[in-house]
C-alpha cells in the first residue's frame, strides 16, 4: 500500500495538484487539505494531475467528486489531467467521465 502524497505546484495562472500513490479512504484527509490549500487563492482553474495514481477505489472517486464540489463552491473550474489506465476505466464504467473536464494521457 502506497499512501497518497500530493505535490501542489502554483503556476502563475493556476495551481496544479499532483496525486502520487493510492487514492482510497485513508487518503481523503490528505486530499482535502491539499484542495483547501490549492483553492485558498481563489484560482479560476484547478488542475489535478492523476498520472502517478496507482490505485483508486470508490472512496477515491468520492474524493474526486468532493474536489469537483469544492472547486464549484469556490468558482473554480476543475480539470483532471493525464487520466489513464485503471482510473480512466473506472470513470468510464461508472459514467463519471461526464462529471469532469478530463485530459487523457498522451498516447505513444
pLDDT band at 105 (very low <50, low <70, confident <90, very high): confident
Q: How many domains does the chain have?
A: 1
Q: What pLDDT, in 10s, does the model give residues 5-36?
A: 999 999 988 999 999 999 999 999 999 999 99
Cβ(66)–Cβ(38) under 8 Å? no
Give the residue numbers spanning the domain of 10. Answer: 5-104
Q: What is the pTM of this model?
A: 0.91
Q: What is the enclosing helix (H) or strand (E) of 69?
A: helix 58-73
* CATH number of the domain encompassing residue 53: 3.30.750.24
Residue 108 has pLDDT above 90, yes or no: no
Share of the chain above pLDDT 90, in %: 87
The pLDDT of residue 76 = 96
φ, ψ of residue 84 to 5 degrees: the values are -155, 175
Confidence of residue 104 (pLDDT cuts 50, 70, 90): confident
Amino acid at each position: 500500500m502506497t499512501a497518497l502524497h500530493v505535490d501542489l505546484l502554483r503556476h502563475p495562472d493556476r495551481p496544479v495538484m499532483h496525486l502520487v500513490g493510492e487514492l482510497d479512504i485513508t487518503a481523503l484527509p490528505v486530499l482535502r487539505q491539499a484542495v483547501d490549500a490549492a483553492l485558498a487563492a481563489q484560482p479560476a482553474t484547478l488542475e489535478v494531475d492523476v498520472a502517478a495514481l496507482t490505485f483508486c477505489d470508490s472512496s477515491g472517486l468520492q474524493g474526486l467528486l468532493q474536489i469537483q464540489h469544492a472547486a464549484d463552491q469556490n468558482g473554480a473550474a476543475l480539470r483532471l489531467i493525464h487520466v489513464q489506465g485503471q482510473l480512466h476505466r473506472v470513470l468510464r464504467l461508472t459514467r463519471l467521465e461526464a462529471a469532469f473536464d478530463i485530459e487523457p494521457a498522451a498516447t505513444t
